[in-house]
A = this chain, B = another copy of it.
C-alpha cells in the first residue's frame, strides 16, 4: 500500500472494511484521504464527524480525530468541536438520510450561520444501513422497502436547499468521477465557511437491487452516462431533463461564524479596558 494512503488509514484487523462489495462509499473514503494528502493536511488537525449509516462508517477507518455521533447529529456535534477548537478542519460525512432527513434542520441552520464546516453528503438514494428504505433523495417512482409501489414524494434538490440556506460552496460529483471528485473536495476543503459536497454513490446491495439497476459497475456506468459537467453547459436552457449536473454549482464568500465570534469577544474586551 502506498505510504501516503497508509498514513491516513487506521490499518488494523478491522480491514477489509464492513461495506458491501462494490459500494461507492469505499471509493469516497479512498478519494477523501487522497484529497487530504494532496492538500497536505496534517492528520492531527482534522476532525471527521459522522452520524449513523453506512456512509457514517468512513471516519472509523481514517487516521485523524474521528467522531461517530448519533443518527442525524453529526452537524451539531461538529459545531461543538469547531467552536471549541476553531483551528481544526472539521469535516462531516454522512448519508442522505442522516443529513437530509433526521438531520436536516441542523444542516440548514449551520449553513445559515456559515460555520466553517465541510459537509460531504453521500447520496446513495436510500437508507443503506437499515436495509433499503426511502430517503429524501430517492427519486420519484423508485422502489425501496417502504415505497413498494414506487416513491410518491418529490426528491430533494440538495443544491437549491444548500444555496437558500446560506452555504457558500456547493459541488456535486459521483463515485465514477474520481478525479473530478478529488478536485471539488479540494476546493471545498479550502473554503472558509459552510461548504457542501454531494456525492452520488452506488448502493448495489439495496437501491441497485430493488430498482434492477444491476451491479456496482452498471450503476457507475449510469453515473457516467447520466451526468453532465456544469462547465460544459453554455446556456441554462440546454440541459436535457434526464441529466444530472455535476461540478461546482455555487462558490461565494460570506463572513464565517467563528471569526465573527472572535471579533465579538475582542470588541467586548476592548470596551471593558
Contacts and interface: CB of A to CB of B under 8 A. Distances in A.
Which of A105, A153, A166 has most chain B Cβ within 10 Å?
Answer: A105
Contacts of A101: 105, 109
Q: 5 closest A-B pairs (Cβ-Cβ)?
A: A160-B164, A105-B105, A104-B105, A164-B164, A152-B260
A113 interface: yes
Interface stretch (A10-18, A52-60, A175-183, A261-269): A261-269
Contact of A257 (B152, B260, B268): B152
Give the interface size bracket for A toward B.
20 to 34
Contacts of A156: 112
The SS class assigned to the A binding surface is helix
A71 interface: no
Number of copies: 2
A149 B264 contact: yes
Contacts of A254: 154
A211 to B, nearest CB: 18
Nearest to A102: B105
B164 A163 contact: yes
A148 B267 CA distance: 13
A168 to B, nearest CB: 11
A154 B105 contact: no
A154 B112 contact: yes
B104 A153 contact: no
A108 interface: yes
Nearest to A104: B105
Interface string A136-170: 10000000000001001111110011011110000
